[in-house]
Amino acid sequence: MAIQTTSTFTYNYATYLKPYFRLVAHLPVDGDTAPIDCVMYESSGSYQASSGSITTLPFYVMNSSASVDNDGDNVVNKYLLYVTENVTGSLETLSPGSTFTIVEIPTI
């Protein structure tokens, strides 16, 4: 699961040009809330080259409102897309005006 910023992203008083985010899902303790680590890299190339990340942002996604009617191509990808859309919304809240594209999740 990954999110590509298509503009600038402002976080902690710094502005980054088109950073790349990798999402790492962890098993929820109670089944209701999925903990997601959103790891920010300078670019997708930085991630692929195993360069160090800039920061990790923790998010918690409520599973109870998971949509079964989105563009994912199977049950796993539908859930991964739901999680990624929620994290994207949280990133938009952190950096109003930034735009994002979800990448690396197969859809129909």
**Beta pairing class for 20-25 and 14-17:** unpaired
pLDDT at 46: 95
Q: Which two tokens stand for residue 67?
A: 């949509």
Q: Which one, of 10, 6, 43, 13, lies nearest residue 22 by Cα?
A: 43
Contact 95, 19 (CB under 8 A): no
Give a yes or no: residue 46 inside a domain: yes
pLDDT at 78: 75
Distance CA 69, CA 97 (A): 27
Residues 6 or more apart in contact with residue 103 via CB below 8 angstroms: 2, 3, 4, 44
Domain count, the chain: 1
Query: How much is the pTM?
Result: 0.88
Give a yes or no: residue 55 inside a domain: yes
Give a yes or no: residue 108 inside a domain: no
Domain of residue 22: give its range. 2-103
Give a yes or no: residue 99 inside a domain: yes
Low-confidence residues of the chain, pLDDT below 50? none
